[in-house]
Amino acid sequence: MSETERSRWRPTRTQKIIAVLVLLIAWTALAGQWADKGCGLPQGYALVIQHGTPDRDEGCEDEPSGPEYTDNYYG
């Protein structure tokens, strides 16, 4: 491959689709960690963006309006 061919490489449509699917699977796995700590899965997706993976003392506690994030989780 010549130098100009290497600098012009772009991912194919299939490679882009696979990359997006891998990211969605990883995001779902991380959101599942929040679900194990008492949070709903949709809330887990948002918490992954806001806080990353949960620490030992992070989770959700039951409230009348639904699970709420707390950094003093002991569940």
**What pLDDT, in 10s, does the model give residues 5-51?**
667 889 999 999 999 999 999 999 999 999 999 999 999 999 999 99
Asked if the model's pLDDT at residue 3 lies above 70, the reply is no
* pTM beyond 0.85: no
What CA–CA distance (Å, rounded) separates 57 from 37?
10
Helix (H, G, I), strand (E, B) or coil at 68: strand
pLDDT-derived band at 1 (thresholds 50, 70, 90) equals low
- Helix H or strand E segment including 51: helix 41-51
Of 50, 53, 69, residue with least CA distance to 61: 69
At 67 the pLDDT is 83
